[in-house]
Amino acid sequence: IVRNLGGFARFLDLAAEHSGELLSFTSMARECQLPVKTIQNYYQILEDTLIGFRLMPWRKSLRKRLIAHPKFYIFDTGVTNAILRRLKAPLESSLKGKLFEQWLILETHRYLRYCRSEANIYFWRSNIGTEVDLMIEKYGKVTHAFEIKSTQRPSSGDLNGLKSLRDDHPQAQCGLICCVERPYESRGIPILPWQDYLKNLSEIFS
């Protein structure tokens, strides 16, 4: 499948390091010192072998979705850490937040495939860069949107993306998924323990 093993090894390290981030073939090619076409082929190999998947940004126009920058997720947080040789390393707060988001996105993606739902998942990003980690669309309508934080004490600012999204999609059920012990509401938005979110996946995708 791959002839340049050294180049692919460099690519795999960087793909794991940037898992869950906006995907730019040009930037990856520059970092790996490989042609853009090669980077595109390598990502396609990861998708074809189920090592990862692309999460597309939400756009009303399908054509605009296809040309926008997606995010790419390695299929397992343990594999991500193993590739980066940090299985026993202590988790810094920024890394913990990134892996927590990746894990919940992966669990949602797996459930979506398992139940064969006709829904789709995206992330949402406004023109000024405000972002929401997970958006669920079914039959052309946005049904749910979730921000994901690893904190036990979410701040008011953590809800800004959801507030902006709700202006465009008032029908969407929004929530902040985090590590609180009990659900409550802030600024009109439910704050959910991650356990409650996972328990409710069947209802969300029904």
Q: Are 130 and 161 in contact (CB under 8 A)?
A: yes
pLDDT of residue 206: 81
pLDDT of residue 128: 80
Q: Give, to the nearest 10 degrees, the angle between helix 25-32 and helix 36-48.
A: 110
Cite the DSSP H helix spans in 68-132. Answer: 77-83, 93-114
pLDDT of residue 157: 92
pLDDT in tens, 128-139: 888 999 999 999
Measured distance CA(41)–CA(47) in Å, rounded: 10
- Quote the Cα angle for 182-188-192, to 5°: 25
pLDDT of residue 89: 81
pLDDT of residue 61: 56
pLDDT of residue 91: 78
Domain boundaries, the chain: 1-89, 91-206
Measured distance CA(74)–CA(58) in Å, rounded: 20
pTM of the model: 0.89
Strand arrangement, sheet containing 184-186: 120-125, 131-138, 141-148, 173-178, 189-193, 184-186
DSSP state of 156: G
CA–chain centroid gap for 117, Å, is: 18
pLDDT of residue 199: 96
Specify the CATH class of 91-206 in words: alpha beta
pLDDT of residue 2: 66
As a whole number, the mean pLDDT across the chain is: 91
Measured distance CA(18)–CA(3) in Å, rounded: 23
Torsional sign, CA 161, 163, 168, 169: positive
Q: Low-confidence residues of the chain, pLDDT below 50?
A: 65-67
Specify the CATH class of 1-89 in words: mainly alpha
pLDDT in tens, 78-100: 999 999 998 888 878 778 999 99
Neighbours of 186 (CB within 10 A): 13
DSSP string, 179-203: S-SS-EEETTEEEEEHHHHHHTHHH
Topology alike, domains 1-89 and 91-206: no
Measured distance CA(11)–CA(32) in Å, rounded: 6
